[in-house]
Chain A
Amino acid sequence: MILSISWKNVWRNKTRSLVVVISLVLGIFGGIMALGIMQGWLAQRVHDGIYKEVSHAQIHNPQFMLNEELQHTIINYDKVVAVLDTMKGVVAYSQRVKVFSMVQSDWAATGLVIKGIDPDKEKTVTEIYQTLVEGEYFGGNHKIPSIIIGSKAAESLKLLNYQVTKEKIDSINTDIFPQVLIEKLKRIGDKRFRKDKDFRLALKEALSPEEFEVHSESLIKYFSFYRMNTSLRITIQDKNGVIQNPVFKVRGIYKTSNSMYDGMFAFVDRKQLNQYTELNDNEIHEIAIISNDNESGAKVGDKLAEYIPENSTMSWIKLSPEIAMFNEFSAIMGYIYVGIILFALAFGIINTMMMSVLERFKELGMLMAIGMNRFKVFGMIMLESVFLSLTGGLLGMLISGIVVSVLSRTGINFGMWAEGLEAIGYSSMIYPIVTITNYISIAILVVITGMVASIWPARRALKLNPAEALRTE
């Protein structure tokens, strides 16, 4: 009956309780969204870090770790491969040759790390093949070998061009861009711009300031294109220290969520690269390994280090400590958010409960007079507070649950900050993640908040002298 009285007491003053409930709903919603976005964000960073960059573990010659020179290939390669082929927990692995090179297009040059890979094996380890924004992932019979570079490297090499072509003008969306604007665009002509800065300037001259303000970003994106099949001259040193200058053609451009990575690595077929490095098929710089999941990946890394001590084996936790840290702290950060919000809301609950106790002095006095002990009075007030906070908390969680489940499929686009986010390795498309454990923990936090917030008002009630309270009007 105490449960029923407490529940009914919560709704005695409906407006007052509803105000607290609504503030709890909003607070919990905000907290869960912040938690979900943060977890989604960090989970994406962890996923991309592992499946696009470092994998679960990597094997190198210890010397290569200190000084990345061509001759420091993996020691006892055949033994290593035999171990990998039989070891439990190794789902896939990919052998790579890594060379540092200067890459030149006709218009610019940049330094890149070229990874010589077996394209099909690499597919089982990294998701780079899924991130192609232009061109194809190897294949085809080409006289001049293919190279896949990142979008950032393509920009550095001035392969991202801008041109107002007739085809693009003909297929432009007239619902978004008015006819007047299209006419003005035609005046720019068929000229090709190699720098985003120059094309921007041309647009500024052709359009009115208002049109430029509204449409420039989308126009720059619409008229941009990568110059594919461009020849790149690569300068590398072979095994004997002789400088080689092979030519590769850009046949694919990838874009991960980490623009630093996109500006640093290029991929070619290992066999074709080895024609210039003079390395044979058993000379490998790096083996990247994928396991079933992150946890077993770390274990596989540690096990391998025992089996092949002559080489350096590192799991993703050592290869990318910041990713390991994100993995660990993402939930904690979210709980800190929710905790701060609940702390603030607790004062609202205290206020409401205090008012409710002060209004009921006479009734509480009567309850104590007829024989309700202090423990029960305290419990009743605490229950009221818990019911009040749980009502708001559960409602907030329900609404957040629905919103998160929709957004976890559609994603939230933080496109306006894409450049900044991608510079530090984060995708601008975020899919919030909130787990059942998160909801349970938040529910527990809400109950604790309700209990703690009731202590002060409940103590106030316990100090009552029943005889005096009964005299109050």
Chain B
Amino acid sequence: MNVIELKNVEKVYNDSEIKVHAVRGVDLTFEQGEFTAIVGPSGSGKTTLLNMLGGLDKPTSGEIIIGGTKVSELKGSKLIDFRLHNIGFVFQSYNLIPVLSAKENVEFIMEMQGVPSKQRYLRAKELLESVGLGDRLDSRPNKLSGGQQQRVAVARALASKPKFILADEPTANLDTKSTENLLDIMEKLNHDAGMTFIFSTHDQRVVNKAHRVILLEDGVVTSDERQTPHQ
């Protein structure tokens, strides 16, 4: 079943005097349970594509359809609400709320969804245990390592029960061990729960784990291949 469809998506930045054609005529579909890496050199349009997939940016032309909803046409609070209920985000620099504990960071998104407090607590605890942080529920981000923070971010992304998770270079700031640990967790979530993951990455270790690798060059998809993940 198709979860995400991109139809002839273009993105042109007109901000400065020079027009920047960041994404050109991209057609892609993603299915439920995919574990996809989008790769390409810097400036190839990976982040722009990911931002459009996440509803943070709008395509100049073309359509993005997620679960039957034309996201590219949503505006204002409808768009924010759509993001809240359908998309999980994991950022390169973790972006946790520094004044909240790990558990509260995970609970926060559920509170915005209106989940009752008892349920929030139980789910946050369960998610943090599933990413191996059952003993750090009350730690604030500054008391956690980079790897641990990124695992909290994954738990937070999962908390809203999204259709898929977008991860923008999630391992860029992590050491090898933390990267492996994080990838194992994401792979397990993909395998056991069927969670769809889409990464943008430069990291070969992430590429190796992916089931599908999309190469983006100068805003154009130049290769889209399925592979058997390396162990």
The reply to whether chain A is a binding partner of chain B is: yes
List the interface of chain A (C-beta within 8 A of B): 1, 4-5, 8-9, 12, 362-363, 366-376, 466-467, 470-471
What distance in Å separates the Cβ of B175 from its nearest Cβ neighbour in chain A?
Answer: 21
What distance in Å separates the Cβ of B26 from its nearest Cβ neighbour in chain A?
Answer: 17
Which residues between 95 and 121 of chain B lie within 8 Å of chain A, taking CB atoms? 95, 97-100, 104, 107-109, 111-113
- A residues less than 8 Å from B189 (CB atoms): none
Known: A1-B107, A12-B98, A362-B95. Contact between A371 and B51, CB under 8 A? no
Contact B99 A8 (CB under 8 A): yes
- B residues less than 8 Å from A5 (CB atoms): 97, 99-100, 108
Q: Which of A8, A370, A471 contacts B109 (CB 8 A)?
A: A370
Contact B95 A363 (CB under 8 A): yes
What distance in Å separates the Cβ of B70 from its nearest Cβ neighbour in chain A?
Answer: 19
Chain A's closest residue to B104 (CB) is A1
Q: Which of B77, B104, B108, B156 contacts A373 (CB 8 A)?
A: B77
Question: Within 8 Å of chain A (Cβ to Cβ): is B219?
Answer: no
Complex: how many Å from CA A5 to CA B85? 22
Contact A371 B81 (CB under 8 A): yes
Question: Within 8 Å of chain A (Cβ to Cβ): is B144?
Answer: no
Complex: how many Å from CA A1 to CA B99? 11
Size class of the B contact interface (CB-based, 8 Å): 20 to 34
Known: A1-B107, A5-B97. Contact between A373 and B57, CB under 8 A? no
Contact B54 A369 (CB under 8 A): yes
Which residues between 58 and 112 of chain B lie within 8 Å of chain A, taking CB atoms? 76-77, 80-81, 83-85, 89, 91, 93, 95, 97-100, 104, 107-109, 111-112
Known: A1-B104, A466-B56. Contact between A371 and B109, CB under 8 A? yes
Complex: how many Å from CA A9 to CA B81? 24
Additional A-B contacts beyond A362-B95, A371-B80 (6; CB < 8 A): A371-B85, A372-B112, A373-B112, A376-B112, A466-B56, A470-B91
- A residues less than 8 Å from B54 (CB atoms): 369
Contact B84 A371 (CB under 8 A): yes
Known: A1-B107, A467-B57. Contact between A370 and B83, CB under 8 A? yes
Chain A's closest residue to B157 (CB) is A370
Question: Within 8 Å of chain A (Cβ to Cβ): is B160?
Answer: yes
Contact B80 A363 (CB under 8 A): no
